[in-house]
Amino acid sequence: MSLLQDKELTAITIADIMIPAEKVAHVQENNPLEHALLVLVKSGYSAVPVLDSTYKLKGTIGKTRILNEILGLERFEIDLLSDLRVQDVMITDIPRLLKEDTLIDGLKASIDYPFVCVVDKEGYFDGILTRRAILKEFRKDFFSGRNKQPK
């Protein structure tokens, strides 16, 4: 049995279930928009964190936001992909979690977001918490003990 299976749901922290920074695809705020779109398309992610050169979290950027930004009246203005930078388009008003926060804090923060960024007290990027990771913990808890896993 894993350590996490032994833990009460309410005792699980963000550190237990987050994806660490080194495994998270990201872009930098001064990258051209074209680079961000390439990272998103190649990784298959709908959005990724945006960091500065010191690894501080600045926001997130997603495919839909980029495509909306370059959408002209009748066609996509492809030149804008090299003219604009990630910082011109990213979302900065995002929730943030600390590693010490609880699974329940993570649940509340991720209601409106498929993933939430995790930072330290100085704002340096530590990783992300996905809604998928939260749902997996609740599934484990629900089907343990008296509730049985369906076939």
- Does position 45 interact with ligand AMP (CB under 6 A)? The reply is yes
Residues 37 and 51: their CA atoms lie apart, in Å, by: 15
- Does position 20 interact with ligand AMP (CB under 6 A)? The reply is no
Helices H / strands E in the chain, number of each = 8, 7
Question: Which residues, 101 to 130, sit near ligand AMP by CB under 6 A?
Answer: 114-115, 128, 130
Binding mask 79-98 for ligand AMP (x = CB under 6 A): --------------------
* Residue from the set 12, 14, 24, 116 that interacts with ligand AMP by CB under 6 A: 24
Contact window for ligand AMP (CB under 6 A) among 8-16, 23-31, 91-99, 143-151? 23-31
For residue 60, the cross-strand partners are 49, 91
Q: CB of 129 within 8 A of CB of 137?
A: no
- Does position 25 interact with ligand AMP (CB under 6 A)? The reply is yes
Question: Residue number with the shortest CB distance to ligand AMP?
Answer: 132
| Angle between helix 63-70 and helix 33-43 axes, rounded to 10 deg | 140
For residue 19, which amino acid is it? I
Considering the complex, state which of residue 132 and residue 139 has its C-beta at the smaller distance from ligand AMP: 132
Select from 10, 86, 99, 81 the least CA-distant residue to 49: 86
- Does position 47 interact with ligand AMP (CB under 6 A)? The reply is yes
Select from 86, 85, 84, 111 the least CA-distant residue to 97: 111
- Does position 37 interact with ligand AMP (CB under 6 A)? The reply is no
CB 148 to ligand AMP: min, Å: 26
Q: In the chain, what's the furthest Cα-to-Cα distance?
A: 59
Residues that bind ligand AMP in the complex, under the rule CB under 6 A: 19, 23-25, 45-48, 114-115, 128, 130-132
